[in-house]
Structure 1
Amino acid sequence: MEFSSTRRSIPAGEIIFAEDDAPTTAFLIESGRVVISTVQHGETRNLGELGPGSLLGEMAVIDSAPRSATARALTDCVLTPIDRNQFAERLASADPVVRALLMSQLTRYRSALATLTGDAAGSGAMEGRDESGAFDKIRLESELRSALDRDELEVRLQPIMQIATERIAGYEALIRWQHPERGQVSPTEFIRLAEETSLIVPVGDYVLGRVCDMLVELRRRGRSPLPFIALNVSARQLDDPALIDRMLAQLAKRSLPADRLEIEITESLVFNHSQIAALLARCHSAGMLVALDDFGTGYSNLGPVLTLDFDRIKLDQGFTRALGTPRGLALVRAIVAMTAALDCEMIAEGVEDPAQLQALRELGCDYAQGWLVGKPVSLQEVLETG
């Protein structure tokens, strides 16, 4: 066998690895053909052939089990070795659901092969691997789909106060899920789960429909001026070219003014400048407002703020909490001045005590949101408080 640092040349007839060998390396077949075989009742049985572009020996490397078959070069072959650590690192960082599905398939393969060869001991080679977290995630995703179908998700409204008038000018829509068995599921958990799949699109449409219905009810109850309601939009939703059209269609269906629906985009998404610029142009042409959410959370870059025409900037609650310090107060003062210079309005998040609100009032901040102003509540509670 000729060996180099990156490739191995193996002559026809040579064994690449044998059954029960330790799984130290997998291979990518660059050229030639390899036969995979196992011994059944004392006789060699060919399981298949692999050619250029195929992976060889990867399953044992992935699940750290001894080789379950023998690989022999049918023709002269050139192989690229792949160290097991390369697989281990990628597998460790993979989505746990994908990892669990892969391990499930490997378990079935091992079991089928053990049955074929009469190796009863080998059938349980992968038993005991704990993938309970991944399977729980699969269950939760399935239950979230069912909750959507059964209208079990609740949309709550957190008030946003115009500081100068102390009037509730709008609300942020926040989704909640009271699971019949798990109880209250953390929004962080199920929203992240939805964002990992295309499920975030129907979740977003669900919230959109509920919010539009809420605006209709507020209008019917004589709420004037009609408050705006802000919706958070994720990266996957932004990739949907029909997103704004669907929003406008829902508004038009109920004869609602477009400026009563506001889109909130987190600061971490503005790196895709052309996409956000196009969305802003589309929203503004229809009369919809767009806010930059979580400003100052670590992705801060003044370039996008200067070049993207946001209507409002939402100051992250960390800055609000720092108002009691000289440095925090100075920084928020500078951000308020910058926001005004850009002809934007500013909403301070996380306002929890009167001193913070007073400081924001003196600095000229436009809006306040937080527990001092109000916690997320149902539409019925909003209507009862007038």
Structure 2
Amino acid sequence: MIDELSSMEAQQEVHELIAQQVPLGETLDAIARWIGIILPEAVVAFMRYDPRHCTLSLTPSRRFSLRYTQRLQDIPVGPGVASFGTAAFLRQPVFTEDIETDPRWEAFRDAARAEGLRACWSSPVLTTRGELLGTFGTYFRYPIAPGEPSRRKLRQAAALVALAILRDRDISERKRQEASLRLLQRGIEATPNGVVMADALRPDTPLVYANQAFYEMTGYRPEEVLGQNCRFLQGPETDPDAVEATRRALTERSDVDVTLLNYRKDGSPFWNRLSISPVFDEHDTCTHFIGIQQDITQQRDHEAQIAYQATHDLLTGLPNRSVLDEGLEQAFARARRQGALAVVMHFDLDGFKTINEGLGHHVGNRLLMAVAERLRQPLAEGQTLARLTGDEFGLLLPDLPDREAANALADRLIEALAAPFEIEGRALHISASIGIAGSDDTTRHAHELLQRADLAMGEAKQQGRNTWQWYQGNVQRISRRNVLLRHDLQVALQQGDQFELHYQPVVEAGSGRMRGLEALLRWHHPSRGMVPPGDFIPLAEQTGQIIPLGRWVLERACRDAAELLADGRRMLPVAVNISSLQFRRDGFLEGVQQALAESGLPPELLELEVTESVLLDGADQAITLIDRLKALGIRVALDDFGTGFSSLSYLRDLPIHKVKLDRAFIQDITTNRSNAAIVEGIITMSHHMDLVVVAEGIETREQQQDLVRRQCDLLQGYRFSRPVPLARLKALPDRLPEPADDR
């Protein structure tokens, strides 16, 4: 009777400990004491189950030695794994009457023998849903089998162990969540960013939480914020598109990142980078929105300052050289497309050095500021005045009706500088020498306009200063840089090993199959590196060096094409650009014949590309020479078609077989209806005259598809290949781009 009472008291103690949420170890010790009362000679063991690795581990206690405890760690669950592993696997009790004879104990028999254990009764510890938590076992130091009362008590003990483990797990999870929430709250309060929470289930999505950083950022108090929609931060300059994006995201319960100009309580604006995310409950219902607000006003101001400094001269406030260059590229391209006149003026102040050095740099700086302001006043919208360097200024006039308009403006600018400047009580006089250059047929690149204006400005200096001068072509003096470059070019022509030909494929418009090549000259200067063709080709034309240079290109192109033909893998015509000076020179035809004879290249694989400038000395002479080339089997193409002023008559009169559309028409063919109409008209006219049409400068798939629809024959550009050396050309596939590149 005393044992039964003690058992009931021990069992009641277990229940009270579970209810009091004491640590799991104390509860398990109480269960062990209870089992010790009803089974006095039993040694109680608890093993925890690890679902990640499907293993059991003996819970350390004073009832077992350290060696035995270590042996029973991370034991796999499975049939035949002692009593405990089998019980966990079968989810039912397993009783071993004698460990010495039970084959399931073979791997652990020595350990049990050393511990003095002979019998083991193991029960799985399961939740009501069948989740395995571990095993509860009783060991005996002699062989014994359980009776029915013992089996019943063991089932009760296993249930108590399950209850204790579940209660401990719930407590641990709750403590972990509470710790996480405390950590999260501390993090939210510590962040310099504003954090708000809005109720997604209430009308107008009111704010229900805001951290201290939000109140400091906006200047509002909690009672002015909570319960309000966050739109109270918006103002007259807030971007409506960003507001609409935010509203749409809230409606669709989706994430959104926007940058808004918001307003503080005192009315001052600030730039707010806002990120909003929905919060969903276990039923996938959006209950709240979390908003993180970052004040990026200083960052935006800093970025604006950097952007301004990158594009403006800090002394005068004028745009700098990079802005002028960018505008010049755009104006030049538009002028070529529309046949308009783009003009550049280059200013150099007369006598500024004397003032700057004699009166001090501070006076010179104030004078530059005053000059910039006077030069700016007569200008119209769209005309860009920039400070280039020191006392030099540049002026871009993108859309002038004629040269007379440029002359009139130059007169007004010279007159604007005529009145004295009052600087620190002194009357200072300054004038300017102005060089002027305009786009025309001889201008191939935008940067040439500024170079020519610079040369013309030097001519204005020589004519007495305080005047303007137009660029006069070859009559202008060659700059010192060009003198040095001309010398280096002559050395390169003598040595012959600094030049290389690259080849750009010409492909069939629809299929992309290679149908020809264009030879393009590259100059590897020993100290300057790669010299752009736009720098040395115009110089070579001015100095006459284009003659030996063109001869070298022709001979090398013929040899390379013959090598491709000999390899048996490429039978492609090669196109060589011929300058007008080279074309009109005596002996040109004989030079072509010699290049073909020495290389062994069939004439039908050579194509010569000429521009309208070959007609400057008379169309009849050019037509006769082209007819003689045709008689030899050599074909002639008209390059840069559409950029001159008499293209239609040349198209009618010249005995050519191909026209090449200039890239200026192609670069915006998919967006510029005027250009597209011109291209389609040229293609149609050319086909009616049995001429092949090549479009240059193809860079995108959309441009290719557009030209295929317009029935253009051949295409050339980076879309298919950049100009490459001969060795790389040999490795290119017959079809460009390869299918993998076209996806």
Regarding TM over 0.5, the answer is yes
Q: Is the 8 A contact 1:268 1:299 kept in 2?
A: no
RMSD: 2.5
| Equivalent position amino acid for 1:154 in 2 | E
1:246 to 2:591 alignment: yes
Counterparts of 1:319 and 1:293, CA distance in 2: 13
Offset, 1:90: 9.4
1:96 to 2:482 alignment: no
Listed as ranges, the matches of 1:266-277 within 5 Å are 266-271=611-616, 272-277=618-623
Structure-2 residue corresponding to 1:6: none
Task: Assess, with a 3 A threshold, how the Cα gap between structure 1 residues 135 and 162 changes in structure 2: closer, same or farther.
Answer: same
Out of 497, 515, 518, which is 1:169 matched to?
A: 515
Structure-1 residue corresponding to 2:602: 257
Task: Assess, with a 3 A threshold, how the Cα gap between structure 1 residues 90 and 364 changes in structure 2: closer, same or farther.
Answer: closer
Offset, 1:358: 0.8
| Equivalent position amino acid for 2:476 in 1 | D
Listed as ranges, the matches of 1:123-162 within 5 Å are 134-150=479-495, 151-162=497-508
Counterparts of 2:460 and 2:701, CA distance in 1: 58
Structure-1 residue corresponding to 2:134: none
Structure-2 residue corresponding to 1:4: none
Counterparts of 1:247 and 1:140, CA distance in 2: 28
- Where 1:231 maps in the other structure, the secondary structure is strand
Task: Assess, with a 3 A threshold, how the Cα gap between structure 1 residues 92 and 249 changes in structure 2: closer, same or farther.
Answer: closer
Task: Assess, with a 3 A threshold, how the Cα gap between structure 1 residues 180 and 254 changes in structure 2: closer, same or farther.
Answer: closer
Offset, 1:182: 1.3
| Equivalent position amino acid for 1:231 in 2 | V
Structure-1 residue corresponding to 2:726: 379
Structure 1 runs (4+) greater than 2 angstroms displaced: 62-65, 87-97, 267-272, 298-301, 325-331
Counterparts of 2:665 and 2:480, CA distance in 1: 39
Task: Assess, with a 3 A threshold, how the Cα gap between structure 1 residues 91 and 291 changes in structure 2: closer, same or farther.
Answer: closer
Offset, 1:84: 6.8
Counterparts of 1:249 and 1:229, CA distance in 2: 16
Counterparts of 1:323 and 1:350, CA distance in 2: 11
Q: Is the 8 A contact 2:583 2:614 kept in 1?
A: no
| Cα deviation 1:64-119 (Å, max 9, x = unaligned) | 99xxxxxxxxxxxxxxxxx979x99699873323xxxxxxxxxxxxxxxxxxxxxx
Counterparts of 2:680 and 2:702, CA distance in 1: 15
Offset, 1:139: 1.7
Counterparts of 1:301 and 1:255, CA distance in 2: 35
Structure 1, 285-294 or 140-149: larger mean CA deviation = 140-149
Counterparts of 1:322 and 1:63, CA distance in 2: 39
Q: Is the 8 A contact 1:267 1:299 kept in 2?
A: no
Structure-1 residue corresponding to 2:425: none
Structure-2 residue corresponding to 1:178: 524
Q: Is the 8 A contact 1:295 1:315 kept in 2?
A: yes
1:217 to 2:563 alignment: yes
Offset, 1:189: 1.2
Listed as ranges, the matches of 1:26-175 within 5 Å are 94-97=475-478, 134-150=479-495, 151-175=497-521
TM-score, normalising length: structure 1: 0.65
Structure 1, 187-196 or 136-145: larger mean CA deviation = 136-145
Task: Assess, with a 3 A threshold, how the Cα gap between structure 1 residues 63 and 162 changes in structure 2: closer, same or farther.
Answer: closer
Counterparts of 2:515 and 2:666, CA distance in 1: 20
Structure-2 residue corresponding to 1:281: 627
1:192 to 2:538 alignment: yes
| Cα deviation 1:3-56 (Å, max 9, x = unaligned) | xxxxxxxxxxxxxxxxxxxxxxxxxxxxxxxxxxxxxxxxxxxxxxxxxxxxxx
Q: Is the 8 A contact 2:522 2:533 kept in 1?
A: yes
Q: Is the 8 A contact 1:147 1:153 kept in 2?
A: yes
* Unmatched tracts of structure 2, length 5 or more: 1-458, 734-743
Offset, 1:297: 1.3
Task: Assess, with a 3 A threshold, how the Cα gap between structure 1 residues 343 and 139 changes in structure 2: closer, same or farther.
Answer: same
1:335 to 2:679 alignment: no
Offset, 1:63: 12
| Equivalent position amino acid for 2:477 in 1 | P
Counterparts of 2:665 and 2:471, CA distance in 1: 38
Counterparts of 2:461 and 2:480, CA distance in 1: 21
| Equivalent position amino acid for 2:724 in 1 | V
Percent identity of the aligned residues?
34
Offset, 1:202: 0.6
Offset, 1:269: 3.4
